[in-house]
Structure 1
């Protein structure tokens, strides 16, 4: 039975719609506000992993409806002329599915986002576009959100799911400086190669001198890919680059001549996105009063282990389970109950996400080393990747799968 307790969610990206449905299923009345005017084609892809898929599977019919490309194998190649060829391969995604019930699924971000939004709306979630959070005020019983267009709304509590550039986070903790990591990614979508022995069901890593390339399927006919390289600072916009720059990258970059399907993917890219990779300060607290942060707003991470969205889903699973535990009637909770919930949420989630953020940073540094000697040493580490399978498996054994 619904309590009609309004919960305001800032951000209708990947986490916001999922959180809204979870809350609605508990009896709350969520409303999602998004700064953009509607769906966009920004971004490239996501690799949904067992922990994230487990959370999504609790929403009836969602996982089964997703358009994506199942991943069965991981392949590691070297494009270094002095040490070229296949480094190793593993069927880890298949083992993950046998162990946890879920494997790995590549999804094109815009398609996945649209499916989440449509699913939430079908469940009766209200989504309001074109409303950017610019301020937050709260008292003992409620929180009021101010938007750039002068409008306001008041709810029981506020969940900030507004991503890397979270205004909810700024409202709580002030503006922080993002530090450029020295790495830039160029990503795209391409027709899946049909020539040679290209593996249509593999996530493929290819390593060069100061460069890294990753690709995986996102549906039956397309692969997503991302090239990481050391370049001067680029904006964190995740938007498509202009036509001339796209053509230059597709035809004249080092990647266009690489093997293992890389050159074909780059050359035939349907659109190309470029963005800088940045670090942000680690927060020791994710809430203040009746406001709490989730996903990238709380723990932004580089994409090198593909856990960003999956960790946001773990956030949702824990936060909503704590709401159910401490506020089972879904009435507007007093601030002391919210403090108990938010503190327990932080106590569990901050150590796990901090460890994964650090792991992602180290993976980025390892993948994009420069110099032949350093690259050969890196290649040797990936030749022994099978020895790390147990450690990698534990990455997925988070809260959502326990």
Structure 2
């Protein structure tokens, strides 16, 4: 492996191991450094969608390894006082496999993370735990990376896949001021209620000042998250202590009907975190270092596109490396600049549109006051009235990052 071009990837979360597999397949020698000491059980779930699954399908055999649950319907419900009613019940997700080749699928995040890490290791990818990147020193032909434990390493170039709290991003562009959106999320994993029936469905419940989304992640488990407006909560995936969990399980959310309250009551572990906005970057690279996924374009979770957009990033970055550097030889800084600029020209505008769309979705979902809630519900009914038009919008999102033959 020593004669192959070495690439350091910061982050062994969702995107880093996927990228490492593709780089290995294309003749590079990627080494992944991860800040935490071992695989964590933090995080709840991923909504894997056709655009992301299309990229994952390019890894031989990996799709079959994913533990998840495809869903066939999307439903929206109103929970306003005594009014508990269906607003929308759409069946188009069942058509997606035929139309796109892939389903919408719920998966437990830690299970997916473990699966992709083990798959990367089976390709010979070296993953080194307990190494948090704290400094970058760029030279003419390589980058020196220094870690918090005092260790260091060098590589031809560095790709920061280290997520929302990216150290790579800070090293490149400095510490940014983050702003609290006024929204928090509280979520968990629960046994799927019998009232949900046999058809796997993504469900949205709209109340006064709160919204709950849930979807199956296995045949028997459902992931859920409640978004509400309240004072600031720290932006971490930390479990509530037992006292707070028990209090939440007895909160007014537990009294919601249509199965929503039941999943709150029966959750095994509940986590809570604040949702924050970050300044949008105009460029994702500097010299021989580039950002990918949440490190480049952190997003709120309301569209479920975070992981899928990271996989689109992976596709286009690898595609451009193959196009401009087919031999996988050590690239010059000028060649990397061409590759990274091409990657940004394709990805920045699209990612920005989806980040703004997710933010708007969160604002629209969570409104206060009965009149405002009824207006929201009416608007939702109208927006979903033409299911073919809704499907067309989803298909537009799912037409990326490529149609037809892959270029990697």
What TM bracket, shorter-length normalisation?
over 0.9
Match of 1:135 in 2: 135
1:90 and 1:147 map into 2 onto residues whose CA distance is: 49
Match of 1:273 in 2: 271
Match of 1:35 in 2: 35
Match of 1:389 in 2: 391
Match of 2:209 in 1: 210
Q: 2:351 pairs with 331, 353, 356, which one?
A: 353
Q: Where do residues 322-401 of structure 1 align in structure 2 (5 Å cutoff)?
A: 322-384=320-382, 385=384, 386=387, 387-401=389-403
1:247 and 1:172 map into 2 onto residues whose CA distance is: 43
**Structure 2 residue matching 1:325: 3-state secondary structure:** helix
Question: Number of residue pairs matched?
Answer: 400
2:96 and 2:199 map into 1 onto residues whose CA distance is: 19
- Equivalent residues of 2:142, 2:157 under 8 A apart: yes
1:37 and 1:358 map into 2 onto residues whose CA distance is: 34
1:392 offset after TM fit, Å? Answer: 2.7
- Equivalent residues of 1:3, 1:330 under 8 A apart: no
1:129 and 1:66 map into 2 onto residues whose CA distance is: 23
Match of 1:228 in 2: 227
1:4 offset after TM fit, Å? Answer: 1.1
- Equivalent residues of 2:84, 2:258 under 8 A apart: no
Match of 1:108 in 2: 108
TM-score (norm 2): 0.96
Q: Where do residues 124-273 of structure 1 align in structure 2 (5 Å cutoff)?
A: 124-194=124-194, 196-251=195-250, 253-273=251-271
1:373 offset after TM fit, Å? Answer: 1.2
2:54 and 2:181 map into 1 onto residues whose CA distance is: 32
1:82 offset after TM fit, Å? Answer: 6.3
- Equivalent residues of 1:73, 1:90 under 8 A apart: yes
1:377 and 1:400 map into 2 onto residues whose CA distance is: 38
1:99 offset after TM fit, Å? Answer: 1.4
Cα deviation 1:218-273 (Å, max 9, x = unaligned): 0111100001111110011111110111111112x221011121111110001101
1:75 and 1:305 map into 2 onto residues whose CA distance is: 15
**Structure 1 residue matching 2:144: 3-state secondary structure:** strand
- Equivalent residues of 2:72, 2:199 under 8 A apart: no
2:134 and 2:259 map into 1 onto residues whose CA distance is: 46
- Equivalent residues of 2:84, 2:257 under 8 A apart: no
1:2 and 1:224 map into 2 onto residues whose CA distance is: 43
- Equivalent residues of 1:216, 1:224 under 8 A apart: yes
**Structure 2 residue matching 1:27: 3-state secondary structure:** coil
Give unpaired runs (5+ residues) of structure 2. Answer: none
Change (3 A) 1:372 1:239: same
- Equivalent residues of 1:100, 1:401 under 8 A apart: no
1:201 and 1:59 map into 2 onto residues whose CA distance is: 27
- Equivalent residues of 1:192, 1:200 under 8 A apart: no
2:361 and 2:83 map into 1 onto residues whose CA distance is: 20
Cα deviation 1:307-366 (Å, max 9, x = unaligned): 000000000000000000000000110011100000000000000000000000000001
Cα deviation 1:149-190 (Å, max 9, x = unaligned): 111100000000000110100000000011100000001000
Asked if residue 119 in structure 1 is aligned to residue 119 in structure 2, the reply is yes
Q: 2:297 pairs with 287, 296, 299, which one?
A: 299
Cα deviation 1:11-46 (Å, max 9, x = unaligned): 111000000001000000000000000011111101
Change (3 A) 1:350 1:361: same
Q: Where do residues 89-108 of structure 1 align in structure 2 (5 Å cutoff)?
A: 89-108=89-108
Change (3 A) 1:390 1:83: farther
Q: Where do residues 64-103 of structure 1 align in structure 2 (5 Å cutoff)?
A: 64-81=64-81, 83-103=83-103
Give unpaired runs (5+ residues) of structure 1. Answer: none
